[in-house]
């Protein structure tokens, strides 16, 4: 019964309740502004809440975390500028909806689905944390590498008009991620002895440039087109809509929890993988993907919020951060005199149940704040473009600077903004670039770790894959997905379908 | 059909055109851009080889070499396809790809980047916002100033005060200013 | 708004006319943290600084400037004014920049404000490793050359230094060195069985050891530590370690060389007092750090000793890009 009372701590304490509410509210806005990140907010809170008790401090951080992960979708839908990396997939179908004047509906679906995903993540954390963390711990470098390869194959579903252009963009993204001093050997890669290149190119700077500045530049073409009037009378999605997407959202939430629980992968990869999954399993979307498919919103939003609960799993059971935010929270627990590690669940089970309770409360507040105040947000899109464009540019600059307090990042951001503008115009998809940057280190580091561990012996490396059930499953998934994207497969499928049609004709 | 709806559809078409639309013509400047990417990729392959050569499978240069090779191959295919497409009719580089307004905005951004460090965040941003909004919005000075400075104050408050992001101060003695403001608030330091 | 600016300008005029240390600080101080949010340097700095702010009666705004193994932050502070308004909050790494070819600047371009604490290296093995102690590990490596996987964190990191010590004392060991991003990810990999042995800082490994998720083999100290009283110390296992120990990664706060002495003293006093606060000492204990709180001359000679020991150790292990001799780093006394 101790667990139960710890779980209800937040519910019963008005002060904690208020802190979670404030955190969630702030989180939505922090998440929505590109360049203000949850990671940043939480690390500032460490000094800010230094003299507080541990419960209020953690309550505030959890609120910001939950709200922030959700908030990224706002600007993705309204402006085609993802507020956070985990909302990149959301923009692909959310923005087309906003262009039809359906921003209200898109935000409504996003909110409800984020709530659903968040809830699944919390449920798994509460009920199966030790099992999931054992599973996550079992991932070897070669498994991470295979996971990265699996991720890179998503290029196919992010490519739009041309797969070749998608592959080019993906490779460019991987390359951008590799620039700088190699962290494993301190060899410079593509640095040309320039200090500008030595610390690498910030992923956030690339993202803000590619999505923020390049979008703002592209919008100059439409300066005189009046802003789209948004219908905001139907925000809460109908029960039928929710029920229809329930099976999909369960699947994508599962993807979110697992990817979130793996140390080294987080909500960004989870959301993209979920988007790809939705594209694969949805037979007949009401609208094609990329043109405003509801499924294209459901998948990434359930996944990235489910990843929040997932990220807490290794943190609570092993003291290992599931992502950047939980890494800072572990630091916060240390500062407050707790010792996060495998013993935390045994020594202080209250802390675990308190966090679960706070997450539940934060999830409810997210639903409330998500469904209210939409009017204000949609007003942003109805602002004159002439004002909006310079503001987006300035926010992009400040945001790029804020990530690492570096002017170099601002230069990179602007350069990628211009490059992104031309790529957009000439039909190169931008999603794969970001995908490549996200997965670059995961792929390179783990490939090298895996092959070093096997003493540079490819035979031993493949033997390792074949003899481990997990690696083998991932390997087969990689091959299946790869084959399904090649022209050969489409031809076989077409022939198969033709034969079937013939059969039904007779 | 109301005029409102008409506008939406016009915009929709334009956006479709801009984003993804299987094209059978080549846009102005596209061939040059594509060839530039191929040349850049070739240069990168050479750099990637220079990192560690074919030293070992785990060498820092292995993945870069594989990646850049993919870029060269796909870039080559794209270039081959693009160059063979007919030039699109009715599109001009100076109007549909790089209109003068866009160049001016890009120059403003460049100016911002160059002035940020010496001049500091506040003056540079004020200058940028006022010029850009005046240029794009074509409204009176009063409204332009009001909107741009209002927005700047808001951004400054959120990033500098709440999130303590230390943008370059330049010629503005921000540290002293903020300390002075803090001293006004009793108990604050 | 106008009034504020006018006021500020006149305040500036006043303060620049009289930059005496008794006024310090007249504006907010920037603290540049060399490592990312959530890392141990970050945690330690964010825990100690609020206390120092209280003593100092000023505001210290902390920001993380990462990249280049901390060199970006170091160069940024070095490029600033020597007025005590920019602090470098860093770890041991800069002392190896020169020999590792990572940069031309190190702490010799700075004045130490306070060397806060030092960590203890400990050698841990995964729970199901086929050996239970240090001697067993050496024997197993000898019997299975090239099979045991050691975690590392890149050249110059703690694992590479400890591994170099082992090689120097016990003779070259034939092991595979698998690089990770930091000791956190490496210890995760250790628990997952991807690596067998990891030299880590005690604070990072202690909870895993307590839970039985990893086995402690050897503590790199001259005397047993409170947290692990039963684990043998390196100098008892082999006297050769006396040459190098005590050794450990450390955290410190620095200002650019040339900062007025009275400002440095004021800062040192503030941080010394801050580091004595019970909640900070408790944090240090919990994380297995030894509180040093060194200032002035003591801090300076600590830095020199550390650099000389480590740089020459790395040089002898063949891991440096340039000899310490080139930079006038003295060889440690035999």
Report DSSP letters for B88-123, one per residue. Answer: PTT--IIIIIS-HHHHHHHHHHHHHHHHHHHH-HHH
Contact C37 A50 (CB under 8 A): no
Contact A141 C68 (CB under 8 A): no
Query: Which has the minimum average pLDDT: A322-331, B168-177, C23-32?
Result: B168-177
Domain boundaries defined on chain A: 2-138+162-422
Q: Would you say B20 and B85 are in contact if contact means Cβ atoms under 8 Å apart?
A: no
What's residue C139's pLDDT?
Answer: 95
Contact A330 C192 (CB under 8 A): no
CA C47 and chain centroid, separation? 16
Confidence of residue C20 (pLDDT cuts 50, 70, 90): low
Chain B neighbors of C59, CB-CB under 8 A: 179, 182, 189
Chain C neighbors of A47, CB-CB under 8 A: 46, 49-50, 62
Confidence of residue C22 (pLDDT cuts 50, 70, 90): low
Average pLDDT taken over every residue of chain A: 87
Instruction: Provide the β-strand partners of residue C179.
Output: C152
Contact A342 C213 (CB under 8 A): yes
What's residue C11's pLDDT?
Answer: 46
User: What is the average per-residue pLDDT within B20-29?
Assistant: 72
Chain A neighbors of C156, CB-CB under 8 A: 186
Chain A neighbors of B57, CB-CB under 8 A: 451, 456, 458
Residue in A299, A296, A295, A309 with CA at minimum distance from that of residue A266? A309
- The residue ranking higher by pLDDT, A496 or A335, is A335
Interface confidence, given as ipTM, is: 0.84
- Whether pLDDT at C101 is above 60: yes
At C64, give phi and psi (nearest 5°).
-90, 125
Q: Please report how the helices A385-404 and A407-425 are oriented relative to each other, as an axis angle in degrees rounded to 10.
A: 130
Structural domains present in chain C: 16-119+249-327 (3.40.190.150), 121-243 (3.40.190.10)
Pairing, β C29-33 against β C60-64: parallel
Instruction: Provide the β-strand partners of residue C219.
Output: C122, C233
- Whether pLDDT at B150 is above 70: yes
Query: Which has the minimum average pLDDT: B61-70, C96-105, C287-296?
Result: C96-105
Alpha-carbon gap, residue C136 to C138, rounded angstroms: 6
% of chain A surpassing 70 pLDDT: 96
Residue in A210, A227, A310 with CA at minimum distance from that of residue A270? A310
User: What is the average per-residue pLDDT within B156-185?
Assistant: 78
Query: Which has the minimum average pLDDT: A327-331, C45-49, C171-175?
Result: A327-331
- Whether pLDDT at A146 is above 70: yes
- Whether pLDDT at A438 is above 60: yes
Q: Would you say A148 and A155 are in contact if contact means Cβ atoms under 8 Å apart?
A: no
- The residue ranking higher by pLDDT, A192 or A231, is A192
What is the least distance, in Å, from the CA of C10 to any CA of chain B?
Answer: 10
Q: Would you say A322 and A273 are in contact if contact means Cβ atoms under 8 Å apart?
A: no
Q: Nearest Cβ partner of B173 from C12, C25, C63?
A: C12
- In C, minimum Cα distance to B165 occurs at C63
Confidence of residue A500 (pLDDT cuts 50, 70, 90): low
Query: Does residue C130 sit at the A interface (CB-CB below 8 Å)?
Result: no
Q: Would you say A312 and A266 are in contact if contact means Cβ atoms under 8 Å apart?
A: no
What's residue B7's pLDDT?
Answer: 46
Strands of the C289-294 sheet, one edge to the other = C60-64, C29-33, C86-91, C250-256, C110-119, C289-294
Q: Convert A2-34 to b/e letters by CB count within 10 Å (16 or more is b).
A: eeeebbebbeeeeebbebbbbbbbbbbbbbbbb
Tell me which DSSP letter residue A8 carries: T
Q: Please report how the helices A295-318 and A349-371 are oriented relative to each other, as an axis angle in degrees rounded to 10.
A: 160
What's residue A504's pLDDT?
Answer: 56
The CA dihedral of C108, C114, C116, C121, to the nearest 10 degrees, is 20
What's residue A26's pLDDT?
Answer: 92
Query: Does residue C65 sit at the A interface (CB-CB below 8 Å)?
Result: yes
Q: Nearest Cβ partner of B181 from C4, C12, C25?
A: C4
pLDDT digits (tens, 9 = 90+) for C183-230: 788 888 999 899 999 999 888 888 889 889 899 999 999 988 888 889
- Assign 3-class secondary structure to chain C: CHHHHHHHHHHHHHHHHCCCHHHCCCCCEEEEECCCCCCHHHHHHHHHHHHHHHHHCCCEEEEECCCHHHHHHHHHHHHCCCCCCEEEEEECHHHHHHHHCCCCCCHHHEEEEEEEEEECEEEEEECCCCCCCHHHHHHHHHHCCCCCEEEECCCCCHHHHHHHHHHHHHCCCCCEEEECCCHHHHHHHHHHCCCCEEEEEHHHHHHHHHCCCEEEEEECCCCCCCCCCCCCEHHHHCHHHHHCCCCCCEEEEEEECCCCHHHHHHHHHHHHHHHCCHHHHHHHHHCCEEEEEECHHHHHHHHHHHHHHHHHHHHHCCCCCCCHHHHCCCCCCC
Contact C28 B175 (CB under 8 A): yes
What's residue C58's pLDDT?
Answer: 86
- Assign 3-class secondary structure to A83-102: CCHHHHHHHHHHHHHHHCCC
- Whether pLDDT at C316 is above 80: yes
Q: How far is CA C54 from CA A387, B16, B156, B189, C276, in A?
A: 43, 59, 26, 9, 13
Confidence of residue C7 (pLDDT cuts 50, 70, 90): very low
Q: Would you say C151 and C162 are in contact if contact means Cβ atoms under 8 Å apart?
A: no
- The residue ranking higher by pLDDT, B20 or C326, is C326
The runs of H, that is alpha helices, within B19-162 are 30-52, 62-84, 100-119, 121-137, 141-156
User: What is the average per-residue pLDDT within C48-68?
Assistant: 87
Chain A neighbors of C210, CB-CB under 8 A: 341-343
Alpha-carbon gap, residue B150 to B117, rounded angstroms: 22
Confidence of residue C6 (pLDDT cuts 50, 70, 90): very low
What's residue B124's pLDDT?
Answer: 94
Preferred mutation among A30, A390, A442 to probe B, highest tally of B CBs within 10 A: A390
- In A, minimum Cα distance to B126 occurs at A394
pLDDT digits (tens, 9 = 90+) for A351-395: 999 999 999 999 999 999 998 878 777 777 778 888 889 998 998
What's residue C15's pLDDT?
Answer: 44
Total residues found in chain C within this entry: 334
Query: Does residue C176 sit at the B interface (CB-CB below 8 Å)?
Result: no
Q: How far is CA C3 from CA A102, A343, B185, in A?
A: 46, 57, 15
Alpha-carbon gap, residue B152 to A86, rounded angstroms: 27
Give partners of C (≥3 CB pairs < 8 A): A, B
pLDDT digits (tens, 9 = 90+) for A461-471: 999 999 999 99
User: What is the average per-residue pLDDT within A300-308?
Assistant: 95
Label residue A111 exposed, middle or buried (CB < 10 Å: 0-12, 13-18, 19+).
Answer: buried
Can you say whether the dihedral through the CA atoms of B7, B9, B15, B17 is positive or negative?
negative
Preferred mutation among A36, A41, A198 to probe C, highest tally of C CBs within 10 A: A198
- Whether pLDDT at B149 is above 60: yes
pLDDT digits (tens, 9 = 90+) for A30-47: 888 877 788 888 888 877
Total residues found in chain A within this entry: 506
Alpha-carbon gap, residue C83 to C105, rounded angstroms: 19
Q: Nearest Cβ partner of C11 from B164, B176, B189?
A: B176
Q: Nearest Cβ partner of C30 from B166, B176, B179?
A: B166
Chain C neighbors of B182, CB-CB under 8 A: 59
Alpha-carbon gap, residue A236 to A112, rounded angstroms: 8
pLDDT digits (tens, 9 = 90+) for A68-80: 999 999 989 988 8
- Whether pLDDT at A131 is above 50: yes
Chain B neighbors of C270, CB-CB under 8 A: none
Confidence of residue A501 (pLDDT cuts 50, 70, 90): low
User: What is the average per-residue pLDDT within C318-334?
Assistant: 83
- Whether pLDDT at A459 is above 60: yes
At A58, give phi and psi (nearest 5°).
-65, -35
User: What is the average per-residue pLDDT within A127-132?
Assistant: 88
pLDDT digits (tens, 9 = 90+) for A387-425: 889 998 998 898 888 877 788 889 999 999 999 999 989
Q: Would you say C275 and C47 are in contact if contact means Cβ atoms under 8 Å apart?
A: no
pLDDT digits (tens, 9 = 90+) for C145-155: 989 999 988 77
Contact B173 C8 (CB under 8 A): yes
What's residue B12's pLDDT?
Answer: 47
Category of C117 on φ-ψ map: left (φ > 0), alpha (ψ -120 to 50) or beta: beta
What's residue B21's pLDDT?
Answer: 46
% of chain C surpassing 90 pLDDT: 48
Q: How far is CA B125 from CA A34, A36, B113, B170, in A?
A: 17, 18, 10, 12
Preferred mutation among C189, C286, C314 to probe A, highest tally of A CBs within 10 A: C189
Tell me which DSSP letter residue A209 carries: I
Give partners of B (≥3 CB pairs < 8 A): A, C
pTM of the predicted structure, to 2 decimals = 0.84
């Amino acid at each position: 019964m101790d667990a139960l009372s710890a779980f209800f701590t937040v519910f019963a304490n008005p002060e904690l309740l208020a802190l979670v509410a404030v955190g969630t509210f702030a989180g939505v806005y922090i998440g929505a502004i590109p360049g203000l990140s949850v990671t940043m907010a939480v690390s500032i809170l460490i000094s800010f809440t230094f003299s507080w008790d541990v419960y209020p401090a953690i309550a505030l951080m959890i609120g910001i975390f939950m709200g922030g992960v959700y908030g990224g979708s706002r600007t993705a839908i309204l402006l085609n500028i993802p507020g956070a990396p985990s909302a990149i997939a959301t923009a692909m179908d959310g923005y087309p909806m906003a262009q039809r004047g359906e921003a209200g509906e898109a935000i409504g679906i996003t909110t409800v689905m984020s709530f659903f995903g968040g809830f699944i993540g919390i449920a798994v954390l509460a009920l199966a944390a030790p099992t999931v963390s054992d599973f996550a711990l079992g991932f070897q470098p070669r498994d991470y590498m295979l996971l990265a390869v699996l991720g890179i194959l998503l290029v196919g579903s992010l490519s739009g008009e041309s797969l070749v252009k998608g592959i080019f963009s993906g490779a460019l993204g991987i390359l951008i991620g590799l620039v700088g001093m190699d962290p494993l050997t301190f060899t410079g890669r593509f640095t040309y002895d320039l200090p500008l290149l030595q610390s690498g190119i910030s992923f956030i700077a690339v993202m803000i440039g590619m999505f923020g500045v390049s979008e703002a530049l592209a919008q100059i073409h439409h300066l005189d087109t009046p802003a789209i009037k948004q219908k905001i009378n139907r925000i809460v999605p109908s029960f039928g809509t929710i029920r229809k997407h329930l099976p999909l959202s369960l699947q994508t939430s599962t993807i979110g929890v697992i990817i979130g629980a793996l140390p080294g992968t987080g909500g960004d990869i989870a959301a993209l993988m979920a988007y790809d999954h939705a594209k694969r399993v949805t037979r007949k979307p009401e609208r094609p993907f990329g043109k405003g498919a509801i499924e294209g919103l459901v998948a990434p939003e359930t996944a990235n919020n489910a990843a929040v609960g997932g990220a807490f799993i290794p943190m609570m059971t092993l003291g290992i951060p599931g992502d950047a935010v939980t890494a800072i929270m572990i630091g916060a627990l240390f500062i407050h005199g707790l010792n996060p590690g495998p013993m935390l669940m045994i020594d202080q089970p209250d802390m675990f149940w308190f966090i679960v309770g706070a997450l539940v409360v934060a999830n409810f507040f997210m639903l409330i704040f998500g469904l209210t105040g939409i009017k204000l947000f949609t007003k942003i899109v109805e602002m004159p473009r002439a004002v909006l464009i310079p503001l987006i540019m300035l926010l992009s600059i400040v945001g790029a600077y804020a990530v690492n307090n570096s002017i170099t990042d601002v230069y990179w951001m602007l350069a990628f903004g211009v490059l992104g503008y031309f790529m957009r115009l000439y039909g190169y998809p931008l999603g794969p670039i970001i995908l490549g940057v996200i997965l670059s280190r995961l792929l390179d580091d783990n490939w090298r770790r895996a092959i070093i561990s096997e003493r540079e012996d490819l035979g031993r490396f493949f033997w390792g894959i074949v003899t481990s059930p997990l690696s083998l499953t991932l390997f087969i998934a990689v091959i299946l997905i790869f084959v399904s994207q090649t022209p050969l497969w489409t031809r076989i499928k077409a022939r198969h379908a033709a034969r079937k049609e013939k059969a039904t004709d007779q | 059909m109301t005029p409102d709806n008409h506008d939406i559809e016009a915009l929709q078409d334009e956006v479709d055109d801009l984003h993804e639309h299987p094209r059978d013509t080549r846009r102005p400047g596209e061939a040059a851009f594509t060839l530039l990417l191929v040349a850049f990729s070739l240069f990168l392959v050479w750099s990637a080889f220079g990192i560690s050569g074919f030293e070992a499978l785990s060498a820092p240069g292995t993945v870069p070499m594989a990646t850049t090779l993919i870029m060269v191959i796909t870039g080559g295919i794209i270039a081959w396809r693009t160059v063979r497409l007919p030039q699109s009719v009715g599109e001009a580089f100076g109007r549909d790809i790089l209109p003068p307004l866009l160049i001016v905005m890009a120059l403003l951004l460049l100016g911002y980047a160059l002035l940020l460090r010496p001049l500091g965040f506040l003056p540079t941003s004020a200058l940028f916002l006022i010029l850009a909004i005046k240029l794009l919005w074509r409204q009176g000075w009063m409204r332009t100033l009001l909107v741009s400075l209002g927005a700047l104050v808001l951004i400054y408050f959120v990033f500098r005060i709440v999130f303590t992001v230390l943008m370059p101060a330049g010629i503005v003695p921000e540290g002293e200013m903020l300390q002075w403001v803090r001293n006004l608030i009793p108990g604050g330091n | 708004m106008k009034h504020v600016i006018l006021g500020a300008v006149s305040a500036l005029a006043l303060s620049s006319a009289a930059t005496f240390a008794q006024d310090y600080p007249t504006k907010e101080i920037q603290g540049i943290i060399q490592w990312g949010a959530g890392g141990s340097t970050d945690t330690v700095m964010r825990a100690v600084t609020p206390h120092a702010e209280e003593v100092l009666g000023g505001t210290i705004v902390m920001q993380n400037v990462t990249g280049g193994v901390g060199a970006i932050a170091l160069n940024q502070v070095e490029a600033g004014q020597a007025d005590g308004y920019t602090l470098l909050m860093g770890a041991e790494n800069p002392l190896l920049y020169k020999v590792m070819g990572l940069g031309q600047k190190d702490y010799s371009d700075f004045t130490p404000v306070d060397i806060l604490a030092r960590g203890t290296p400990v050698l841990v093995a995964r729970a199901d490793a086929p050996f239970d102690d240090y001697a067993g590990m050496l024997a197993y490596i000898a019997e299975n050359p090239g099979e045991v996987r050691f975690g590392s964190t890149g050249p110059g990191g703690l694992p590479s230094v400890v591994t170099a010590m082992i090689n120097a004392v016990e003779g070259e060991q034939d092991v595979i060195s698998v690089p990770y991003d930091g000791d956190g990810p490496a210890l995760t990999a250790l628990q997952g069985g991807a690596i067998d042995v990891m030299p880590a800082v005690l604070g990072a490994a202690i909870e895993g050891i307590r839970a039985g998720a990893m086995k402690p083999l050897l503590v790199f100290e001259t005397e047993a530590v409170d947290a692990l009283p039963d684990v043998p110390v390196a100098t008892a296992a082999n006297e050769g370690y006396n040459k190098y120990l005590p050794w450990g990664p450390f955290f410190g706060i620095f200002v650019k060389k040339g900062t007025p002495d009275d400002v440095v003293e004021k800062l040192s006093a503030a941080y010394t007092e801050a580091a004595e606060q019970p909640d900070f000492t408790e944090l240090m204990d919990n994380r297995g750090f030894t509180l040093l709180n060194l200032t002035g001359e003591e801090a300076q000679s600590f830095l020199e000793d550390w650099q000389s020991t480590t740089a020459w150790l790395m040089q002898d292990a063949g891991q440096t890009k340039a000899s310490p001799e080139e930079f006038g780093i003295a060889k440690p006394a035999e």
